[in-house]
Structure 1
Amino acid sequence: MKRALTAVLAIGLGAAVFAGCDELGGLRVPTAGTACQLSKDQEATLFAPFAKLPVKLFIDPGFDSSRKRDIRRAAEQWNRFSQFSLHAKFFELAGEYSVAKIDQYYGGRDFCGEPVKDDGVYVLAGATLERWARLGYSNVTAGVTSRCVSSDRFFTTPIEHPHVAVYLNDAEVGDDLFFGVALHELGHALGLDHTCARNGGSYGMPACSELPPTHPYMKAVMRGDNDYRSITINHGKSSYSYIVGTAMEHLEQNDLDRAYCLYGRRQ
């Protein structure tokens, strides 16, 4: 059962707890103006934040209605946290927008030269296996985010004119996983890196393989490892593949804490 918001209960200076049956139920909410509490091994996991909130969110009309709904719901979950913690929405739902040249892209950062409608985050559909492969992504990659700013990992100057593409593998990600993938990639759009590194502790981050499944970094939506794998089904002369794995349904404490540290310190 998922954890709809009924209340936020104060638990003292600088914190509150989501109550009721909300997806975020039981999680501590850092409140505006309080100090960031971030472990040293998470310091390198924060990228440049957006300078102004909310940021416009555009959705590719190529997604079907249920997946558009999941993308909106993912944005609304991030917004639910930010409205209580920071008194501002992260995302403003700005309608649909089609990027006409996406089928000519040969990499995610090709979007950075796109003369789009407005500053913002554009959620784009990897609608076919061919499109996804041409972008350079593997069949076990569920989503990718390209933030069109400096390639320097430690670039932290707030972004005044966000130009961000979120690519979702619409061709292979099933309905059970799609919402969680959208939730994860929107975290990257906001400036959150993974909590841990899949293949070892780069930039001071711990290795995911050294952490137990119950560790806060491994429970987080923004964890750097998952159990996704690609299954191929042969049907006569044709075949198709899809991604299977454990679904992510809601943000966890580490996701909230890091998002607060990235944006709350500017309040």
Structure 2
Amino acid sequence: MCLFLFSDVSLITAQDVHPHLLVKPQDKQLILDKINKEPWAKKIFDDLEQTVTPYVERHQKDPEWILSRYLMNRVPGKRYTHFYADADGTMLVRYAGDAPFPTVRVSPHKRPPITKDGYSYKMPSLEELVPYDTSMKMNLQSNAPNGKKEWINPQSFVEGINGRINDLALKASLVYWLTGKEEYATFAADILNQWARGASYQYPIVGPCRTGFLSIQTLGDRHEEPLMLSYDFLYYFLREKKYQTSWYEGVFQKIASTMTFRGFWNNN
């Protein structure tokens, strides 16, 4: 919904100026005027800000809270860098490598988990997640009549959960760009930094042509798009605050390369 705020802006700008993906710097006042004058635009912005503000406020007091809920390969010796799919590209069958930092967990299956009776499971909220979780299973509640909880493989919930956090980072970066409130930038930058540091050591999944970079299928790599957009809004903030940015663009290049050679044209 927040993208409607940018519907009247020009997307033509030099790529050495940031932001330049959704908007350009001189569009800011146009968007702010729209928010001030148009009730629908104000509602979109207010909803966006209200969604992310509780997490930003918590981050000021406990910066590890959101970072610890990002699903990563955290155990030394199991900070995997290489991932291997089965012949159909449906599930991961092998992991290898060990990075010096936690790496981003890859969904081990292309579909969400279901019970033996065919019921789906509820994706846990961020508040329900185990911080610094090192288990490859989750205690998930089924949507069956008995609502039973079971320790199971979360399958595609992995990228869904991380995608929620990525979306929060994008929302926070938008609020920062429009308001200049640095606490929102810090929240988004810390998420981006943890993700990029780990992903910089990772390689695209080995498997059929449709396997992705951080998803078993390239379709799932869309969950990483919010962080690339966040980077565009945070570009100058990251450098001003001395974040280690050397690995960021390398990760973006890996995603772009994977999408180019294995992307949507080659997917289902």
Name the TM tier (shorter chain).
Answer: under 0.3
Q: Which has the higher contact order (CA 8 A, sep 6+)?
A: 1
TM-score (norm 2): 0.24
Greater share of helix residues, 1 or 2?
A: 2
TM-score (norm 1): 0.24
Greater share of strand residues, 1 or 2?
A: 1
Bigger Rg, structure 1 or 2: 2
